Structure 1
Amino acid sequence: MSELAIFGGEPTVREPARTVWPVVSEADVARVADAARRGEISYDASEGMVAELEGLFETRLDRPYALATSSGTAALHSAFFGIGLAPGDEVLAPTYTYLATVMPIVACNATPVLVDAEPDTGNIDIDDAERHVTSRTRAMVVTHLSGHPVDMERALRFARRHGLKVVEDCSQAHGAATSGAEVGTRGDVAAFSLQGRKLVAAGEGGMLVTSDTTVYERAVMLGHFAARSETEVSTPDLVPFAKLGYGLNYRMHPLGAALAIGQMERLDQYLEWRADNFRAYDQILRDTPGLAPAPRQDHVSRHGGYSYQPLYDPAQWGGLPRSVFIDALRAEGVPATVPTSLPLHREPFFSRAETGITTYPVDPDRRLYRAGDLPRSEEYVRSAWRLPAYPQPLSTRMLTGMAEAFRKIAAGAERLRRHTRAAAA
């Protein structure tokens, strides 16, 4: 076996794979250009490219309502507003997720109650959620993290038992499915991000989907005032306010919608390409002593392919730190990374009484968290690592080089351990 690249040997992966995302076709460019030429650069009601994109989501997810928004965060805010959160309400939320899953709850004058993570996927732990339910609990939000869907059958049984609304954050899981049903089809309302790294990319944008008329109309009232709210709002309690609306502008840019239409049409192809790459990763890791493929629970019908995220156990590598393992991989040309975000309960907003917010109330009696309060999420962050999904199938040459890199590192683990001990001495 040749010398490890981290010690001056030749890297096994010499030609990096193509990583440009999103994939923009000539048809995408033409669609965006045509919309710009005919002046479709803003809109009032659901029309043109925005209406077409909303229709694609409605058809795919078999939902009667889809509402395009300016971002996934706006879609989540609209979802929480749509279910009618009020001051004093509590919403169960994963501690390990992007901030946009949780902070719009605060903007709706409600209180997020953070729940620990599953130790294998990082998704919300439904078992842990049970101990956080109070008489004030009104809803639960679940994030389908890294494309691995939450077990929605379990989540819905839990929610029904406690009378909770369920919001799905599908930002990282377009097309993922659990127990045969795509994410976004089971909760009371779902939100998707169409930001540039997502499998359906508009550059910036989001989508809310629901089957609940009131939730939809409240979301329209929040961010789509005037023409659209006047046209589409029919709930008697809302009609008097439909013309004025509730004052925010969450409309998606039509040119972003034009770009996302092609991405949506190719979503199944993207999922297949990424599934092929993930199967190749699975085989490489199975063949490497001390490693296992990224976890996939039995209920998963299709992974969303956003990120391939195995777990690293230093005990299996004789105590070799994860950081050294990752550095050795990167030296070989394998673009492995580790999570950089803390669980939310470790952030100052959730650990300090003073938040800096004066424009809307923050519950003064809310729980303040400390390190160790939600320990499985902290352990997950310490053990998770990532291989990129890549936009297109990896070449045989690339996969062969990656496999050789893992074999080299496994064979050279003792030298890596000695070097690490010497550096620490």
Structure 2
Amino acid sequence: MSELALYGGEPAVREPLGTATSVSEADVARVADAARRGEISYDASEGLVAELEGAFETRLGQRYALATSSGTAALHSAFFGLGLKRGDEVLAPTYTYLATVMPIVACNATPVLVDAEPDTGNIDLADAERHVTPRTRAMVVTHLSGHPVDMERAVRFARRHGLRLVEDASQAHGAASAGAEVGTRGDVAAFSLQGRKLVAAGEGGMLVTSDTDVYERAVMLGHFAARSEQEVRTPGRVPFAKLGYGLNYRMHPLGAALALGQMERLDRSLELRAATFAAYDAILREIPGLDPAPRQSHVTRHAGYSYQPLYDPAAWGGLPRSVFVGALRAEGVPASVPSSPPLHREPFFTCAETGVETFAVDPDRHLYRAGELPRGEEYVASAWRLPVPAQALPADVLAGFAEAFRKVAAGAEELRKKGAVGT
């Protein structure tokens, strides 16, 4: 076996992976055509935006879809749509992107963080039981890295406790649990259409629901004037529909133009990502001390947003994860580790003073301590990632990846002795 690239050897992957885009020439042509004919803004649900909303409604069998300026805006609209108010508590995963949780605060409600599953990082529904109080009104689940939450179990939990259920499907377009696609089992769901997502508008989001009350409130929050006037029908709201609630969460039509083709190609994209997952699985199974990314039994389809196995230093003789990942990166494999701690370790959740005076932050809310949600901390400390591009990885790149893992495994003793360069 040749010398490790970390110590001066030739990298196993000779050419940089690059960034494969999901944007096709047909997508570019649709955007250009919309710009040429002047479809660069809108007032109601019309044109390309209405077409994209219709695609989500049809695929998910939902009565309503509402395009927004971001996934964060979609989540804010979802929580606002539930009518959350000061004093309400919402169960939320501690390991997720901040946008899953902080819009709860923007609704003047209180997020209550729940520990993570040790294998997927998704919300641990068993741990959620101990956090339910008389103030608990809703729960949000994130389908992390494209691995869906067990939605049959989540729905049973929500019904047992009388909770509204929000799905954050930002990383999981097309994923399915027990045959049901994400975004179809909760009371309301939010998707991100940010540039790295499986359906990308550059920036954008989508709210889906079949609940008229949730939909009308979401429309009034961020789609004032024409759309609110046309679509809000509840008598008590009609007089206020034109003015709405003052925010502009409308998606840019050119973003909708960009996302439409990707929505049409979503199933093909999922097939390509599944092939990459299978290739990674095969590589890792050949390496002692490594296991493929977890996939629970209820998963009908993984969205393939991120390939995220766990690293056990003991299986590598105590080799730190940072050295393992660094050695892979030196070989040309763009491996990485989570860059953010669980939310319960962020100052907003550990300090009484938050610096946010605009919102009605509950002064009696629980402040979290290190080790309080241990599995979330353990997950962040053990997870690592391999990229899953929009297009299939070439055979020579996969062969280079396999060689890189073999080199790192063969050089594990040297890595333990030397560590990173300079040690």
Matched length: 423
Tell me, in whole angstroms, the C-alpha distance in 2 between the residues paired with 1:238 and 1:285. 57
Instruction: Give structure 1 stretches of 5+ with no counterpart.
Output: none
Tell me, in whole angstroms, the C-alpha distance in 2 between the residues paired with 1:249 and 1:281. 42
The residue type equivalent to 1:19 in the other structure is: T
In the other structure, the counterpart of 2:65 is 66
Determine if the alignment matches structure 1 residue 409 to structure 2 residue 408.
yes
Helix, strand or coil for the counterpart of 1:207?
Answer: strand
Residue-by-residue CA offset, 1:317-345 (whole Å, 9 max, x unaligned): 00000000011101111110000011001
Q: What is the TM-score when the length of structure 1 is the normalising length?
A: 0.98
Tell me, in whole angstroms, the C-alpha distance in 2 between the residues paired with 1:215 and 1:161. 21
Residue-by-residue CA offset, 1:73-98 (whole Å, 9 max, x unaligned): 00000000001101100000000000
Tell me, in whole angstroms, the C-alpha distance in 2 between the residues paired with 1:420 and 1:406. 17
**1:113, distance to aligned residue in structure 2 (A):** 0.2
Q: What is the TM-score when the length of structure 2 is the normalising length?
A: 0.98
Alignment of 1:101-180 (within 5 A): 101-180=100-179
Tell me, in whole angstroms, the C-alpha distance in 1 between the residues paired with 2:322 and 2:69. 37
In the other structure, the counterpart of 2:3 is 3
**1:399, distance to aligned residue in structure 2 (A):** 1.0
**1:165, distance to aligned residue in structure 2 (A):** 0.3
Residue-by-residue CA offset, 1:163-206 (whole Å, 9 max, x unaligned): 00000000000011110011000000000000111010001100
**1:380, distance to aligned residue in structure 2 (A):** 0.3
Tell me, in whole angstroms, the C-alpha distance in 2 between the residues paired with 1:117 and 1:262. 35
Tell me, in whole angstroms, the C-alpha distance in 2 between the residues paired with 1:142 and 1:377. 14
Tell me, in whole angstroms, the C-alpha distance in 1 between the residues paired with 2:403 and 2:39. 51
Tell me, in whole angstroms, the C-alpha distance in 1 between the residues paired with 2:334 and 2:36. 41
Determine if the alignment matches structure 1 residue 207 to structure 2 residue 206.
yes
Helix, strand or coil for the counterpart of 2:419?
Answer: helix
Q: Determine if contact 1:115/1:129 at 8 Å carries over to the other structure.
A: yes
Tell me, in whole angstroms, the C-alpha distance in 2 between the residues paired with 1:250 and 1:300. 33
Q: Determine if contact 1:101/1:169 at 8 Å carries over to the other structure.
A: yes
Tell me, in whole angstroms, the C-alpha distance in 1 between the residues paired with 2:213 and 2:67. 17
Helix, strand or coil for the counterpart of 2:166?
Answer: strand
Q: Determine if contact 2:71/2:191 at 8 Å carries over to the other structure.
A: yes
**1:421, distance to aligned residue in structure 2 (A):** 10
Alignment of 1:210-359 (within 5 A): 210-359=209-358
Tell me, in whole angstroms, the C-alpha distance in 2 between the residues paired with 1:419 and 1:24. 43
**1:360, distance to aligned residue in structure 2 (A):** 2.1
The residue type equivalent to 1:125 in the other structure is: D
Aligned sequence identity (%): 81
In the other structure, the counterpart of 1:38 is 37
The residue type equivalent to 1:72 in the other structure is: G
Change (3 A) 1:422 1:247: closer
Instruction: Give structure 2 stretches of 5+ with no counterpart.
Output: none
Tell me, in whole angstroms, the C-alpha distance in 2 between the residues paired with 1:330 and 1:360. 43
Q: Determine if contact 1:94/1:123 at 8 Å carries over to the other structure.
A: yes
Tell me, in whole angstroms, the C-alpha distance in 2 between the residues paired with 1:108 and 1:20. 38
In the other structure, the counterpart of 1:51 is 50
In the other structure, the counterpart of 1:370 is 369
In the other structure, the counterpart of 1:100 is 99
Tell me, in whole angstroms, the C-alpha distance in 1 between the residues paired with 2:235 and 2:52. 28
Q: Determine if contact 1:18/1:390 at 8 Å carries over to the other structure.
A: no
Question: Please, which moves more after superposition, 140-149 or 408-417?
Answer: 408-417
Tell me, in whole angstroms, the C-alpha distance in 2 between the residues paired with 1:329 and 1:134. 46
Tell me, in whole angstroms, the C-alpha distance in 2 between the residues paired with 1:373 and 1:192. 30
The residue type equivalent to 1:261 in the other structure is: L
